[in-house]
A and B are shown apart, each in its own frame.
Chain A
Amino acid sequence: MHRTLSLFLKIWMTLGYGFLYFPILTLVVFSFNASPQVTVWHGFSTQWYGSLLQDTVLIRSAFVSLQVAVLSATLAVVLGTLAAVSLVRFGKFRGRGLFGILTTAPLVMPEVITGLSLLLLFVGLEQTFGWPKGRGILTITCAHTTLCMAYVTILVRERLADMDLSLEEAALDLGARPLKVFTAITLPLISPSLVSGWLLAFALSLDDVVLASFVAGPGSSTLPMVIFSSIRFGITPQINALATLIITGVAMSVGIAGWLMHRRR
């Protein structure tokens, strides 16, 4: 009976991983197809990678996306870490319940709701205060920071909850100020989750199409927005080539993050 259970689990997991990876694999394989047809193999070619370099719209949008991703990942790590510390270490304070909702709800909130509400906020702000003038990188960054902050808050909060309190207590007993304790002890100990939080936030920002579509202005299309508008008209091997590059980048950063997390144990 024991053996049948573990055999069942093994088969199930093989099928499950196959399900997770087969579609990604098809993207990668057909990005090297010589023919523009995505479903029939016509020999090996790297022409689609070459044509990516000549697509100026794509390259410009990639730069927009990279700027937004770096800015919002950095902001999200700062804000998310502060939020997590407040939630785990400060006990009960007035307004904590609302604080918990505001910092973690964007994680599950349907993107169309978040996107619409943020756009209406920016429009309202511009009408009332004249700021932000129009929409672009700034507004997309604010939107992505709000989303990514929720992920970072949860990642760091889980790490903080695992952490032994005695080190911090000892430092406090020896007369260190709370701020000093935070920078000298807490921060180094949670640094692996800060790195993986940053990378996750970067990946999320680089992938988002819904929030960006709501809050982007003319001329500030992000890479996913350009990809989305082109795949609505069907599949092209050029997008496959781009997808392969993005997936490789993500795999490398997951590898780095995983290695960092593994090393700490």
Chain B
Amino acid sequence: MIHLPSKLRRFLSTPLWATVAPYGWGLLFCLIPFLIVLKISLSELKMGLPPYGPLVEWVEEGLLVIRLHLGNYTFIGTDSLYVLSYLEALTIALISTVTCLLIGYPMAYGLAKASPSVRAPLLMLVILPFWTSFLLRAYAWIGILSPHGLLNTALIKVGLIHQPLVLLDTHFATILGIVYCYLPFMILPLYASLEKIDSSLLEAAYDLGARPFQAFWQVVVPLSLSGVISGSLLVFIPAAGEFVIPELLGGSQTFMIGKVLWNEFFTNRDWPVAAALATVLLAFLLIPLAIFQRLQERQVRLFNA
């Protein structure tokens, strides 16, 4: 065995060698980009490429001028289109999260209670859609919900309706799409927390005379709270900024902020306003993001794969 000088030994046992690469990556591709967004949200729209003006400028006589253009923020705050888009995005994300929880909790509970031999394949069946393209799964609903789609055709054939229902291009379709696409994100952390619960606790509750529902509500639910919170955050945070699903299923009446930001950037080419919209959205999500991070610190399980 080679005997290393103690200094080198200590160097190799410090976190440095392993940490520096991912840390550097995170700083360059995660932290600095946000600072740039913040900077550009405070600059003025200009013609040309890139379409924004500088914040810091040398003026004659050796004068350094820093100009913070707050106009983008006051513009967002006073234009009701933007205010309504934020409200709509947060409301739709909230409704979708609650729906995911209501559908997902019994499924996760059933998974955790299933016998070990069927549990693995059943779990696999939840993971499979989680890995399958969001884009294609949202697309599948167009064929089902469109005026001449599967659902309307079936309902007309059965005789329940005579005119096709307007299902596509509605808020309903957007919420359905979000619930459908994000459901596995809810089930997996719920399952991870429910699976850990010691069944002897439930038995003790029964022995002490608790009825099944009471035992479930007072023993199982509190113990699975970390799963409920992390599942809800995994759905709510990305859903609040969702673009693909409202674009494909929501039609022209849905103004979720992700869609508005996209149009501001790609159609209007107004980079400063898009940057300000992103900053404000991030500000709305700061508290949920902080809770998510706190759970990460406490090593709450998300996937348990």
Contacts and interface: CB of A to CB of B under 8 A. Distances in A.
Interface of A: 1-2, 5-6, 8-10, 12-13, 16-17, 19-21, 23-24, 26-27, 30, 38-40, 78-80, 82-83, 85-86, 90, 93, 95, 97-114, 116-118, 120-121, 123-124, 127, 142-143, 145-146, 149, 153-155, 157-158, 161, 175, 177-179, 182, 193, 196, 199-200, 203, 206-207, 209-210, 213-214, 224, 227-228, 231-232, 234-235, 239, 243, 246-247, 250-251, 253-255, 257-258, 261-262
Contact of B248 (A12, A13, A231): A231
Nearest to B30: A102
Contact of A258 (B4, B120, B216, B271): B120
Classify the secondary structure of A's interface with B.
Answer: helix
Contacts of B103: 16, 19
A232 to B, nearest CB: 7
B140 A121 contact: no
Contacts of A80: 22
A239 to B, nearest CB: 7
Interface of B: 1, 4, 9, 12-13, 15, 17-19, 21-23, 25-34, 36-37, 40, 50, 103-104, 106-107, 109-111, 113, 120, 122, 124-129, 131-137, 139-144, 146, 148-150, 153, 180, 183-184, 211-213, 216, 233-234, 237-238, 240-244, 247-248, 258, 261-262, 265-266, 271, 274-275, 278, 281-282, 285, 289, 292-293, 296-297, 299, 301-305
Contacts of A27: 136, 139-140, 143
Given A178-B13, A210-B243, A112 B234 contact: no
A19 B26 CA distance: 37
B282 A203 contact: no
A179 B37 contact: no
Contacts, number: 273
Among B36, B122, B144: residue with most chain A CB under 10 A: B36
A190 B126 CA distance: 23
A179 B15 CA distance: 11
B284 to A, nearest CB: 10
9 shortest interchain CB distances as A-B pairs: A110-B241, A102-B26, A117-B33, A23-B140, A83-B22, A90-B15, A9-B110, A121-B33, A207-B133
22 contacts: A6-B113, A9-B110, A13-B107, A20-B126, A20-B180, A23-B144, A24-B132, A27-B140, A39-B149, A83-B26, A103-B26, A110-B240, A116-B275, A124-B36, A154-B296, A155-B303, A179-B17, A210-B244, A213-B266, A228-B135, A247-B133, A258-B120
